Structure 1
Amino acid sequence: MVSHRRPTQSGPSLGARVSAISAVSAAAATAAALGAAPAGADPQHRPEAARSTVDRLLADAERATEQFNAADERTRRLRTRVDEAQDRAARGQEQVNTMRGALGSLAVAQYRSGGVDPSLALLLSSDPDSYLDKAAVLERVGQRQSGALRELRQAQRKLGQVRKEATRDLTELERSRAAVARHKRTVEGKLAEARRVLAALPTADRGAYDRSSRSDRGDLAGAPVGDASTAGSSARATAAVRAAAGAVGRPYVWGANGPSGFDCSGLTQWAYGQAGVGLPRTSQAQRYAGRRVPLSQALPGDLVAYRADASHIAMYVGNGQVIHAPYPGAPVRYDPVGMMPVSSVTRV
């Protein structure tokens, strides 16, 4: 499906990079497996409860990130529409001004010619044939004026409609900007809370968070692609897999779609963009960007959406693995396809 809109390569317009969020992973990658618990806490439950809380907060942040992406994309579309409407309004006003000027000149010319009754002018004329020629010219001038007035009225109505559209789009643009800011605050709040939960644990209890979160096979960053070198569902899919593999190790940056950083849907959009295919910006939209296939029939390049709301998305690369941008602090990496509940698999 090459008919999708080709994506831009830039990051979010509101400066959504949060490299400081890497503290989530930095704190999580400093020691050994979860085991110790702070004094006075249940050693069997405190670390697991904290890990569950962090997982929930990161999932909430990821949902808010996709909402941010959707609102940000809508903001860009509305800004383009507003610019186009304002440009049309300026051209329409120029056209109206020109028409008014032409009609004004015509009215002055008719006034200066005097409003003599045609029948009387014919009786007083020493050259009736010449007068009849002039009368025909005056009639044509009148018809032209009438047509010009109709065109002016149409142009004015069209200009009014364009201005209404521009005003409506401006209102929607402001609402969309407010939504972007709201989702941005939500993401940052969830990530800050996750950092606080991790920081409250002793160092020994933070160590295995990165290795244990989402993946039951440890840190697979830098692992071989498996059978990703085999042909995918198409030449475009194979090229997208190569692009995604080349992004392994780059940081998660929420709201970004490459090339230096990515969130989950930004990575898949960018990878397919390198293959000449434009995907929608959000994971929810990407799950509908092709044909659904069963997980058992997944091929390299297929998009794997997770959770019922498709708030996370990855690219299948074969051998039971996906490449994805996991969460702030964790770089783009390989993980098992079953790291989370799979909601759909889409062949682009």
Structure 2
Amino acid sequence: MPPHRHAPGRSARPGGLRRVAHRLLTLVAAAAVGAGMLAAPAYAEPSVEEIEAAIDKKWEQLEPTIEQYNKVRAQLKVNNKKSADLQKKIQPLALESELAMDRVGDLASRYYISGPSHDIGALLVSAKPDTLTEQLTLLDRLAAHERRQIQGVTTLRDKYEGEKQKLDTLITTQKKQQTELATKKKQIDVEIKKLEASLPKTTVKTENCPTINGVVSEKARIAIRTACAQVGDPYVWGATGPNSFDCSGLTQYAYKAAGIHLTHFTGAQWNEGKAIPRSEARPGDLVFFKSDLSHVGLYLGNDKMVHAPRAGKPVNVSSINTMPVAGFRRPG
């Protein structure tokens, strides 16, 4: 019996099908994986550094508002004092004017309205005509002198009252500005708190002040020592110590300990010191940042400063090169 033969080409069919099926499965799997990647991309959670950068960007909007608030509040404090001082000056002037008016009225009633008094009667009997004329002329001069006194006093009083009225109008305007700024600050504060809530609960590391050399004066040394003692204290906007600070509040507090008064506002502090080139900056100088002077720190030398950075970051020592430097000023 002849041997059984397969039809040509049929012997390779099962193996060929398996290979084709394998290739198809591989292509389908690859396509599925690709489609899955396109349909559901993976997003990484923002890092702490990215959140910090977002807060810093938001802070760039907030800090000028805080310093503007500090400016209005400082001006309001000065103007309230001026108004109170003017009121103190007006009160005695008003009294002096009233007394002078009384004296003129008394003279008028005694010598011109009620007729000759006992004193004038005595003069008519005992005095010579020329003496009586001199006495009456003297009385007339006294009355004129009193009238001039009244005019001088009332003119000065009116001047002070006019100044006080202007100040009171300005104070009203500034109080309105203060309220508007506080509202704006609250709006931005809400955004800052949202970002801060995203941060993991970690302890912020603070760098202590280094050894300071080349301090410009003993007062600067006291200011540095005072500011460095606050490292780790929290940032609180509008605070001037002793346990919390904003940036201009810290520099004000430090120099107050040295007997030098600085206004709680960066713009004012810029004008309350002597301009110093960066090449001549010494420890104890104030270093200001950004074109709007919205941040200030106390320079320590070697491009370091102690400052109150922002909400969420306590008083700390850091490089002055993290922000654009506007210039240096030397208080006192």
Q: Give the TM-score band, short-chain normalised.
A: 0.7 to 0.9
1:250 maps to a residue whose letter is: D
Cα displacement (A) at 1:57: 2.1
TM-score, normalisation: structure 2:
0.77
Pick aligned residue for 1:226 from 210, 235, 238? 210
Alignment CA distance shift 1:208-1:315 (3 Å): farther
Answer whether contact 1:250 1:332 (CA < 8 A) is retained. Answer: yes
Pick aligned residue for 2:243 from 260, 272, 275? 260
Q: Tell me what 1:96 maps to.
A: 97
Counterpart of 2:282 in 1: which secondary structure? Answer: coil
CA distance in 2, matches of 1:90, 1:292: 43
Q: Tell me what 2:185 maps to.
A: 187
Further displaced range: 266-275 or 57-66: 57-66
Cα displacement (A) at 1:46: 8.8
* RMSD, aligned α-carbons: 2.8
Pick aligned residue for 1:157 from 131, 151, 155? 155
Does 2:308 match 1:325?
Answer: yes
Structure showing the higher helix proportion among its residues: 2
Q: Tell me what 1:207 maps to.
A: 200
1:76 maps to a residue whose letter is: K
Cα displacement (A) at 1:185: 1.9
Alignment CA distance shift 1:264-1:138 (3 Å): same
CA distance in 2, matches of 1:285, 1:145: 52
Answer whether contact 1:240 1:271 (CA < 8 A) is retained. Answer: yes
Alignment CA distance shift 1:273-1:88 (3 Å): same
Q: Tell me what 2:70 maps to.
A: 69
Answer whether contact 1:292 1:346 (CA < 8 A) is retained. Answer: yes
CA distance in 1, matches of 2:231, 2:149: 61
User: Per-residue displacement from partner, 1:91-147 (whole Å, max 9, x unpaired)?
Assistant: 1111111011111110111133349xxxxx9xxx887x6233222111100011011
Does 2:105 match 1:112?
Answer: no
CA distance in 1, matches of 2:196, 2:227: 30
Answer whether contact 1:225 1:318 (CA < 8 A) is retained. Answer: no
Does 2:121 match 1:138?
Answer: no
Q: Tell me what 1:28 maps to.
A: none
Alignment CA distance shift 1:171-1:327 (3 Å): same
2:226 maps to a residue whose letter is: A
Cα displacement (A) at 1:83: 1.0
Q: Tell me what 2:83 maps to.
A: 82
Cα displacement (A) at 1:171: 0.7
Alignment CA distance shift 1:41-1:272 (3 Å): farther
Alignment CA distance shift 1:337-1:208 (3 Å): farther
Answer whether contact 1:210 1:330 (CA < 8 A) is retained. Answer: no
2:166 maps to a residue whose letter is: R
CA distance in 2, matches of 1:339, 1:148: 70
Q: Tell me what 2:258 maps to.
A: 275
Structure number with greater CO (CA < 8 Å, separation at least 6) is 1
Answer whether contact 1:303 1:345 (CA < 8 A) is retained. Answer: yes
CA distance in 2, matches of 1:112, 1:165: 41
Further displaced range: 142-151 or 176-185: 176-185
Answer whether contact 2:208 2:228 (CA < 8 A) is retained. Answer: no
* Identity within the alignment, %: 26
1:108 maps to a residue whose letter is: S
Q: Tell me what 1:25 maps to.
A: none
1:113 maps to a residue whose letter is: G
Answer whether contact 1:54 1:197 (CA < 8 A) is retained. Answer: yes
Q: Which one has the largest radius of gyration?
A: 2
User: Per-residue displacement from partner, 1:23-42 (whole Å, max 9, x unpaired)?
Assistant: xxxxxxxxxxxxxxxx9784
Gaps of 5+ in 1: 1-38, 116-120, 212-218
Q: Tell me what 1:175 maps to.
A: 173
Cα displacement (A) at 1:312: 0.6
Counterpart of 1:347 in 2: which secondary structure? Answer: strand
Answer whether contact 2:215 2:284 (CA < 8 A) is retained. Answer: yes
Gaps of 5+ in 2: 1-39
Does 2:293 match 1:344?
Answer: no
Aligned residues: 286
User: Per-residue displacement from partner, 1:194-234 (whole Å, max 9, x unpaired)?
Assistant: 112443x4xxxx239996xxxxxxx3x2x342232x24111
Answer whether contact 2:100 2:150 (CA < 8 A) is retained. Answer: yes
